[in-house]
Chain A
Amino acid sequence: MTTWKEKLEGSLPEDLAEEIDTYETQMNLKRQGKIEDRIFGETRLRRGVYGQRYDNGRRHDGVDWQTLQFPEELTKGVETVYDAPGMQRLKIPFGGLSADQIDVLADLAEEYSDAISHITTRQDFQFHFVHIDDTPSMHRRLAACGITTREACGNTVRNVTACPLAGVCRDETFDVTPYADAQTKFLLGHPDAQDFGRKFKIAFSGCQQHACGLTTMHDLGFIARTREVDGNVVRGFETYVGGGLGAVPQKAKLYEEFVPAEEILPLAQAMSRVFARLGEKKNRARARVKFLIQKLGLDEFKRLVQEERSILPHDDRWVSMVADAGDWTETPLHDAAALNGTAHPEGFDRWYETNVYKQRQEGYAVVTVSCPLGDLTSRQMRRIADLAREYVGDNVRTTVEQNILFRWVREADLVTLYQKLVQVGLGEASAGTIVDVTACPGTDTCKLGIASSRGLAAELREHLAAKSHNIDEAIQSFRIKISGCFNSCGQHHVSDIGFYGVSRKIGGTTVPHFQVVLGGKWQENAGSYGLAIGAVPSKKIPQFLDAITDQYISDREKGESFQDYIARVGKKELKKLVNAHSDVPPYEEDRTCYSDWRDPREFTIADLGQGECAGEVIERIDFDLQAAERVAFEAQCLLDDGDYTAADQRAYQAMLEAARGLVRLQYHDVADDAAAIVSEFRSRFYDTELFFDKFAGGKFANYLFHRHEGDAERDFSDEGARHLVEESQLFIEAAHACHGRLLEQGVLPQISV
């Protein structure tokens, strides 16, 4: 027996086996040149087979560009080399895992990846450095234990997430697990969910007040509610639509206060149809459902969904798949028993405080296993599986904070479980604390990453863990979340202190920075989103973090939350703190800031020889972009003051400043009026695609064009102004990046007067 297909024959569900066979056939056709890159790319994405950094076959090694000489010239997508290692994402609905599944993941990580199983910020697992030829075998081995990779990536319904405490939470309305499970099964491969222009994310929460399922940041979010009808308690969901983080975050809007449970599947189906039919297909940057709702208005969107719902052909599964949800229950492995009498080993009490949650079921607790950066070795995974079998059975879940939960641990077992976790290096007392930093993969493996989010996260973890016993209580439960770019995979907008990767040119050399995002709220289903207040060099973030937390500890008023503190102190004051940490010494004096955390490669070292010839121009553009940042910051302050009209106008002005700075690179005497700036910017930087981001294309330029062209019918609302302020910040970042690219290419545009 030489293939997993032969070995597993008969042990996979027939439909899954057929799907994987089809995928393998497509791979063979690709090898024969019978499928074009664009189509094969989306095909593999829908199987969770993702690209990884450097898969275009080029890598900057810190000194020069290297062409990675893979043996074959074959590709597996546009500009994606077939042999280049990639990422495989799995789908773990609501994060639920069995012990046997964990064992399989451990094996796959060793044999096909790098012996690391990585928990994502959507309760999934993913593996890195995987060769595409190994993916069919991986898929079969996963399917044999009930895990699919189908629609884990691509323009599909992504993993359905849910509160990891569902069913054991002390405050929930009811257990949302069976509904998340039903929604997953109903939409997986559903014909009405195959033609989206972009991904679609769904989450379930059991309550309003906790972080729970983070419904406000989802395309479709459900919060459990009950209602009395004819004397009976009926289950349903407060339903939200159109939320999302991404470059410009948007809170979901209330769609319906109460959608009966048996209506959630047809509602999602009808919404999928509307999204597929009317959603943007060409411009990926505006293709999420939030943009469709923005374009149509919520009322019209609702009308269309309701109309679609009314004509859907009846499907028995709408009811049958949720009919028994009320009876859904988990079975604890052991009878309940309280924690008593056993001596507490060193470290246990602190761990109990941070990593143990008392279930509403007396005598049981949930244990959070802290997984640094969401990473577990295969041996740790097997130990997790062993401990699950010993203490909780298959009641294991992942969390969006990249940890693992053991549910239904009887309290009497907590001491021994702790000791066994310590033995495998998983006894860290940090869950839900400031030490438990979350990060997306960033530049480690992501093609879109700008700065090293994992490098920074690792550094901050060490920095904070070293003083964890002395961390003031006021900041103990702070959430720190880091993204490698503006796309928010690290969920930085909904943390107390968030960071996202950007870059700055200092003396002609690129320096990794992180934008500081303050004041987001994790609780209340990601209750509010923070705003960026300025960029700090990556290497100075730890000092900045100490400064901002120390300031809060010493200056806060009694009982004042961090969000309230940020609002009271105001961004002007906080900006001073950012500025105090923003200096970068010249390259010749100190090179520390010119490389990123845990990556010694210097960014754009090739640029060093050519700063002088463009010196004057660089100074001018630097000045212009700095001015744009200042105006954008003023817009933020106005937003905080509730002056939405002025905030909107300043944000627009900030974009104009940045655009003018770029135009001046080519045309010094551009007129100082909006129409002229936009016109010149369009012809010189948009039409020529000089401003285009490699992945986002002209997305950021469109922020300026939309604002400029839509001036007359402007609605100066809180939400509208907030969006424009976010957009202006991204536009300025794009201007920095554009300038950086021009310098890297060594071909600053010809200047004319």
Chain B
Amino acid sequence: MELQRIGFKVICLEGESIPLVDFIPVFHRWIQQRLTETLLIDVADYSHVNEGPGILLAGHEGNFAVDETGGRRGLAYYQKVNQEGGISARLAAICRSVLAACKRLESEPEFAGKLAFNVRDLEVYSNDRLLGPNTAEANEALEAHVRELLARMYGNDSSSLRRESDTRERLQFSIKNDSADVDVTKALINLAG
């Protein structure tokens, strides 16, 4: 599968009530201190939009966002530039990027004890309707690679994947894995291993 533009979103376990604008200074600090491996450029405030990208941290390789699409707040990261390696390696790299950002955000002093991400509640999507359209074939092709990644990350094969049924929306899986004993840190370790 040639798909490059892939996105992950990790849903919030706690932190739904934190005002979106509170994430703005934190993201600016990430830029000041160059806290990610990728090039970060700017912060965009979309808190005025209903169920939108919330607060966007725009980068060169990809964008992060405290995203509320679909009415569920989470931290999203989607890749914008091409990466080396096969689809499995690319999926894993993007997943690691979002998990690392989740971990960092949870540990920010402003959100201490108020923000947590549920790594067992994820969304993964193709952000490319040419190379990864929301068709049965593409769904099937991507699902196999996603399941492989989830097995590594959760340490089991019991993830449930729900496909996006509206074919105008992006190819997307909503993922749940209630039996996995994993948090953000452990997920990162599992994916590194």
A116 to B54, CA, bound (A): 10
Q: How far is the CB of A67 from chain B (nearest CB, A)?
A: 10
Q: Is the CB of B41 within 8 A of A85?
A: yes
Q: How far is the CB of B84 from chain A (nearest CB, A)?
A: 13
Q: Does B50 contact A (CB under 8 A)?
A: yes
Q: Is the CB of B69 within 8 A of A59?
A: no
Q: Does A426 contact B (CB under 8 A)?
A: yes
Q: Does A36 contact B (CB under 8 A)?
A: no
Q: Does A162 contact B (CB under 8 A)?
A: no
Q: A61's contact among B32, B47, B63, B65, by CB below 8 Å, is which?
A: B32
A480 to B31, CA, bound (A): 33
Which residues from chain B contact A54 at a C-beta distance below 8 Å?
A: 41-42
Q: Does B111 contact A (CB under 8 A)?
A: no
Q: How far is the CB of B38 from chain A (nearest CB, A)?
A: 11
A462 to B128, CA, bound (A): 35
Q: Is the CB of A59 within 8 A of B49?
A: no
Q: How far is the CB of A155 from chain B (nearest CB, A)?
A: 28
Q: B25's contact among A137, A377, A426, A600, by CB below 8 Å, is which?
A: A600
Q: Is the CB of A116 within 8 A of B46?
A: yes
Q: Is the CB of A70 within 8 A of B51?
A: no
Q: Does B130 contact A (CB under 8 A)?
A: yes
Q: Is the CB of B53 within 8 A of A377?
A: yes
Which residues from chain B contact A131 at a C-beta distance below 8 Å?
A: 80-81
Total A-B pairs in contact (CB under 8 Å)? 116
> Which of chain B's residues 17-67 have a Cβ closer than 8 Å to chain A?
21, 24-25, 28, 31-32, 39, 41-53, 56, 58, 60, 63, 65
A68 to B40, CA, bound (A): 8
Q: Does A458 contact B (CB under 8 A)?
A: yes
Q: Is the CB of B24 within 8 A of A599?
A: yes
Please, which residue of chain A has its CB at the minimum distance from the CB of B65?
A114
Which residues from chain B contact A375 at a C-beta distance below 8 Å?
A: 46, 48-49, 52
Q: Is the CB of A114 within 8 A of B41?
A: no
Which residues from chain A contact B192 at a C-beta distance below 8 Å?
A: none
Q: How far is the CB of B22 from chain A (nearest CB, A)?
A: 10
Q: Does B127 contact A (CB under 8 A)?
A: yes
A444 to B32, CA, bound (A): 17
Q: Does B5 contact A (CB under 8 A)?
A: yes
Q: Does A585 contact B (CB under 8 A)?
A: no
Q: Is the CB of B47 within 8 A of A2?
A: no
> Which of chain A's residues 65-107 have a Cβ closer than 8 Å to chain B?
66, 68-71, 83-85, 103, 106-107
Which residues from chain A contact B70 at a C-beta distance below 8 Å?
A: 379
A1 to B128, CA, bound (A): 13
Q: How far is the CB of A230 from chain B (nearest CB, A)?
A: 55
Q: Is the CB of B56 within 8 A of A114?
A: yes
Q: What are the interface flags for B65-77 relative to A under an 8 Å C-beta threshold, 1 for contact and 0 otherwise?
A: 1000110000000
Interface size (A, Cβ < 8 Å)? 54
Please, which residue of chain B has its CB at the minimum distance from the CB of A103?
B168
Which residues from chain A contact B47 at a C-beta distance below 8 Å?
A: 458
Which residues from chain B contact A373 at a C-beta distance below 8 Å?
A: 48
Q: Is the CB of A83 within 8 A of B60?
A: yes
Q: Does A623 contact B (CB under 8 A)?
A: no
A599 to B24, CA, bound (A): 7
Which residues from chain A contact B60 at a C-beta distance below 8 Å?
A: 68, 70-71, 83, 85
Q: How far is the CB of A284 from chain B (nearest CB, A)?
A: 27
Please, which residue of chain B has its CB at the minimum distance from the CB of A137?
B130
Q: Is the CB of B44 within 8 A of A129?
A: yes
Q: How far is the CB of B188 from chain A (nearest CB, A)?
A: 25
Q: What are the interface flags for A4-16 relative to B under an 8 Å C-beta threshold, 1 for contact and 0 otherwise?
A: 1001000000000
Q: Is the CB of A377 within 8 A of B69?
A: yes
With contacts A70-B60, A377-B53 taken as known, whether A115 is within 8 angstroms of B45 at the C-beta atoms is: no
Q: How far is the CB of B2 from chain A (nearest CB, A)?
A: 7
Q: Does A53 contact B (CB under 8 A)?
A: yes
Q: How far is the CB of B172 from chain A (nearest CB, A)?
A: 11
Q: How far is the CB of A134 from chain B (nearest CB, A)?
A: 9
Q: B2's contact among A2, A69, A71, by CB below 8 Å, is which?
A: A2
Q: Is the CB of B58 within 8 A of A114?
A: yes
Q: Does B189 contact A (CB under 8 A)?
A: no
> Which of chain A's residues 113-143 have a Cβ closer than 8 Å to chain B?
114-116, 128-129, 131, 137
Q: Does A110 contact B (CB under 8 A)?
A: yes
With contacts A129-B63, A379-B69 taken as known, whether A116 is within 8 angstroms of B50 at the C-beta atoms is: no
Q: Does B129 contact A (CB under 8 A)?
A: yes
Q: Does B131 contact A (CB under 8 A)?
A: yes
A729 to B69, CA, bound (A): 45
Q: Is the CB of A115 within 8 A of B69?
A: yes
> Which of chain A's residues 598-626 have a Cβ closer than 8 Å to chain B?
598-601
Q: Is the CB of B53 within 8 A of A114?
A: yes
Which residues from chain A contact B65 at a C-beta distance below 8 Å?
A: 114
Q: Is the CB of A601 within 8 A of B28?
A: yes
With contacts A103-B168, A598-B24 taken as known, whether A59 is within 8 angstroms of B42 at the C-beta atoms is: yes
Q: Is the CB of A66 within 8 A of B49?
A: no
Q: Does A382 contact B (CB under 8 A)?
A: yes
Q: Is the CB of A425 within 8 A of B5?
A: no
A315 to B53, CA, bound (A): 49
Q: Does A750 contact B (CB under 8 A)?
A: no
Q: Is the CB of A458 within 8 A of B45?
A: yes
Q: Does B96 contact A (CB under 8 A)?
A: no
Which residues from chain B contact A103 at a C-beta distance below 8 Å?
A: 168
Q: Does A29 contact B (CB under 8 A)?
A: no
Q: B127's contact among A4, A110, A128, by CB below 8 Å, is which?
A: A110
Q: Is the CB of A63 within 8 A of B32?
A: yes
A106 to B48, CA, bound (A): 18
Q: Does A461 contact B (CB under 8 A)?
A: yes
Q: Does B163 contact A (CB under 8 A)?
A: no
Which residues from chain A contact B130 at a C-beta distance below 8 Å?
A: 1-4, 7, 137
Q: Is the CB of B69 within 8 A of A458?
A: no
Q: Is the CB of B63 within 8 A of A114?
A: yes
Q: Does A376 contact B (CB under 8 A)?
A: yes
Which residues from chain A contact B24 at a C-beta distance below 8 Å?
A: 598-600
Q: Does A542 contact B (CB under 8 A)?
A: no
Q: Does A41 contact B (CB under 8 A)?
A: no
Q: Is the CB of A61 within 8 A of B31?
A: yes
Q: Does A390 contact B (CB under 8 A)?
A: no
Please, which residue of chain A has its CB at the minimum distance from the CB of B52?
A377
Q: Is the CB of A70 within 8 A of B52?
A: no
Which residues from chain B contact A178 at a C-beta distance below 8 Å?
A: none
Q: Does B120 contact A (CB under 8 A)?
A: no
Which residues from chain A contact B53 at a C-beta distance below 8 Å?
A: 114-116, 377
Q: Is the CB of B52 within 8 A of A116?
A: yes
Which residues from chain B contact A599 at a C-beta distance below 8 Å?
A: 24, 28, 43
Q: How far is the CB of A42 from chain B (nearest CB, A)?
A: 25
A424 to B41, CA, bound (A): 30
Which residues from chain B contact A110 at a C-beta distance below 8 Å?
A: 127, 170
Q: Is the CB of A372 within 8 A of B39?
A: no
With contacts A63-B32, A131-B80, A379-B69 taken as known, whether A69 is within 8 angstroms of B50 at the C-beta atoms is: no
Most chain A CB neighbours (cut-off 10 Å) among B28, B32, B50, B69: B50
A462 to B19, CA, bound (A): 13
A604 to B107, CA, bound (A): 29
Q: What are the interface flags for A186-225 relative to B under an 8 Å C-beta threshold, 1 for contact and 0 otherwise?
A: 0000000000000000000000000000000000000000
A424 to B51, CA, bound (A): 8
Please, which residue of chain A has its CB at the minimum distance from the CB of B126?
A111
Which residues from chain B contact A372 at a C-beta distance below 8 Å?
A: 48-49
Q: Does A455 contact B (CB under 8 A)?
A: yes
A/B interface sample: 5 pairs, CB < 8 A: A131-B81, A377-B50, A377-B52, A377-B53, A462-B48
Extra pairs beyond A85-B60, A379-B169 (11, CB < 8 Å): A2-B131, A53-B42, A114-B44, A114-B65, A116-B46, A116-B52, A375-B52, A377-B52, A379-B69, A444-B44, A599-B28
Q: Which 10 A-B pairs have the closest CB atoms?
A: A425-B50, A600-B25, A377-B52, A372-B48, A61-B32, A598-B45, A458-B48, A129-B58, A375-B49, A115-B53
Report A's interface with B, CB cutoff 8 A. 1-4, 7, 53-54, 59, 61-64, 66, 68-71, 83-85, 103, 106-107, 110-111, 114-116, 128-129, 131, 137, 372-373, 375-377, 379-380, 382, 424-426, 444-445, 454-455, 458, 461-462, 598-601
